[in-house]
Chains A and B, each alone.
Chain A
Amino acid sequence: MKADIRVALIGNPNTGKSTLFNVLTGLNQKIGNFPGVTVDKKVGYTTLPDGRQAEIIDLPGTYSIYPKSQDESIVFSVLADKHNPHRPDLVVVILDASNLKRNLLLYSQVADLKIPVVVALNMMDLAKKADIDIDINLFAKKLGVPVVPISARKNEGIAQLKNAISFANKFALQEDSIDVSTIAPDLVASISRELDIDNPYLALQLAHQHENLTFLTKEQSDRIEELEKEFSFNSQKAQGAETIARYAFINDLLYDTVKKPLTPQGETHSNKIDKILTHKVFGFIIFFGILMFMFQAIFSWSSYPMELIADAFVWVQNWLHHVLPAGPLTSLLVDGVIAGLSGVMVFIPQIAILFAFISILEDTGYMSRVTFMMDKLMRKVGLNGKSVVPLIGGFACAVPSIMSTRTIENWKDRMITIMVTPLVTCSARLPIYTLLIALVVPNRNVWWLFNLQGLALTGMYIFSLISAVTVAWVFKFILKGKERGYFIMELPVYRAPRWSNVIYSMYERSKAFVLQAGKVIIAISVILWVLASYGPGDRFAKIDAQYSQPKYTKTMSADSLSRTVSSAKLENSYAGVLGHVIEPVIRPLGFDWKIGIALITSFAAREVFVGTMATIYSVNGSAEKMESVYEKMHQAKNPDTGQPVFTLAVAFSLMMFYAFAMQCASTMAIVYRETKNWRWPAIQFTYMAVLAYVASFVVFHLLR
Chain B
Amino acid sequence: MRLSQLEVGEKGIVKEFTDLEMSVKLMEMGCLPGEEIRIERVAPLGDPIAINVSGYQLSLRKREAHTIVLQ
User: Footprint of B on A, CB under 8 Å?
Assistant: 63-64, 66, 68, 98-99, 101-102, 105, 236-237, 239-240, 243-244, 247, 264, 267, 270-271, 274-275, 278-281, 283-284, 368, 372-373, 375-377, 484, 486-493
Contacts and interface: CB of A to CB of B under 8 A. Distances in A.
Contacts of B24: 66, 236, 239-240, 243
B37 interface: no
Nearest to A68: B25
Given A68-B25, A101-B55, A486-B25, A491 B44 contact: no
Contacts of A247: 27, 30, 32
Given A99-B55, A237-B20, A488 B45 contact: no
Nearest to B30: A102
B60 A488 contact: yes
B41 interface: yes
Contact of B58 (A375, A376, A490): A490
Interface of B: 20-30, 32-33, 40-41, 43-48, 50, 52, 54-61, 64
Q: Is the interface of B mostly helix, strand, loop or mixed?
A: mixed
A240 B25 CA distance: 9
9 contacts: A99-B55, A239-B24, A244-B27, A247-B27, A264-B55, A274-B50, A275-B41, A373-B43, A487-B59
Contacts of A372: 43, 48, 50, 59
Contacts of B32: 243-244, 247
B44 A490 contact: no
A486 B23 contact: no
A486 B50 contact: no
A492 B58 CA distance: 8
B15 to A, nearest CB: 13
A377 B47 CA distance: 9
Contacts of A275: 41
**Most central of A247, A281, A492 by chain B CB within 10 Å:** A247
A487 B61 contact: yes
User: Ordered nearest first, which 8 A-B pairs have the shortest CB separation?
Assistant: A491-B57, A102-B30, A376-B45, A243-B27, A280-B44, A64-B28, A487-B61, A376-B47
Most buried by A among B28, B47, B58: B28
B67 to A, nearest CB: 10
A236 B21 contact: yes
Nearest to B33: A244
A63 B57 CA distance: 14
A486 B22 contact: yes
A624 to B, nearest CB: 45
A240 B20 contact: yes
Contacts of A66: 24, 28
Contacts of B43: 278, 372-373, 375-376
A279 B64 contact: no
A63 B52 CA distance: 17
B48 A375 contact: yes
A661 to B, nearest CB: 35
Nearest to B56: A99
Nearest to A100: B55
A284 B43 CA distance: 11
Contact of A284 (B20, B44, B46): B44
Contacts of A281: 44
A279 B54 contact: no
A409 to B, nearest CB: 12
B22 A491 contact: no
A659 B50 CA distance: 39
Contact of B28 (A98, A99, A105): A105
A373 B44 CA distance: 6
B53 to A, nearest CB: 9
Most chain B Cβ neighbours within 10 Å, of A64, A237, A489:
A489
Contacts of A68: 25
Contacts of B41: 274-275, 278
B30 A484 contact: no
Among B44, B48, B50, B60, max chain A CB count under 10 A is at B44
B25 A490 contact: no
Contacts of A236: 20-21, 24
Nearest to A283: B44
B61 A486 contact: yes
Given A240-B20, A375-B61, A279 B44 contact: yes
A698 to B, nearest CB: 35
B55 A240 contact: no
A63 B22 contact: no
B60 to A, nearest CB: 5
Given A274-B41, A283-B44, A487-B48, A240 B23 contact: yes
A377 B45 contact: yes
A102 B48 contact: no
B61 A373 contact: no
B61 A63 contact: no
A376 B48 contact: yes
Contact of B64 (A240, A377, A487): A487
A487 B40 CA distance: 16
A321 B35 CA distance: 73
B43 to A, nearest CB: 5
Contacts of A278: 41, 43-44
A492 B55 CA distance: 11
Nearest to B62: A376
Contact of B40 (A271, A368, A490): A271
A236 B45 CA distance: 33
A102 B54 contact: yes
Contacts of A264: 55
A487 B59 CA distance: 7
A484 B56 contact: no
A31 B27 CA distance: 33
A490 B47 CA distance: 15
A278 B44 CA distance: 7
Contacts of B46: 376
Contacts of A102: 29-30, 54-56
A105 B45 CA distance: 33
Given A280-B44, A373-B43, A487 B58 contact: no
A555 B71 CA distance: 98
A491 B50 contact: yes
B18 to A, nearest CB: 13
Nearest to A281: B44
A64 B26 CA distance: 12
Contacts of A373: 43-45
Given A279-B44, A376-B47, A488 B30 contact: no
